[in-house]
Amino acid sequence: MKTITTSELELAMKKETPVLIDVREIFEYNSGHVPGAINIPLSELEQRYEEIPNNSYIICQSGARSMQACHYLQLNGLDVINISGGTSSWAGELEY
């Protein structure tokens, strides 16, 4: 499983507009998320995984749920990137 840090994500976001999926629950997402992140909670992933394109970046609060999500998505044929450290290690401003 490919994993990058939030610093590496920030660099990637300066070069392109990656698809960033936040797998935290809705209330967590609404309390602040990385700019541009799309919320698809882990609890809804099984029903909504087809909305996620290849090469998406997957983030949660610390990296544990995003790792679970990446594992599930890979089993379903998607190539995705886990963000270690999650939203809690994001140094930039959060969106609300």
The amino acid sitting at 72 is: Y
**Per-residue pLDDT reduced to its tens digit, 9-51:** 999 999 999 999 999 999 999 999 999 999 999 999 999 999 9
Q: Which CATH class is domain 2-89?
A: alpha beta
70 is known as an active-site residue: no
Nearest alpha-carbon partner for 65 in 35, 86, 89: 86
Q: Which of 23, 60, 70, 80 is catalytic?
A: 60
Model pTM score: 0.97
Nearest alpha-carbon partner for 72 in 40, 28, 25: 40
- Residue spans of the domains in the chain: they are 2-89
pLDDT of residue 28: 98
The band of 72, judged by pLDDT with boundaries at 50, 70 and 90, is very high
- Positive or negative, the CA dihedral 37, 27, 93, 1 is negative
Q: CB-based contacts of 46: which residues, under 8 Å, 6+ apart?
A: 72
Number of Cβ atoms within 10 Å of the Cβ of 10 = 14
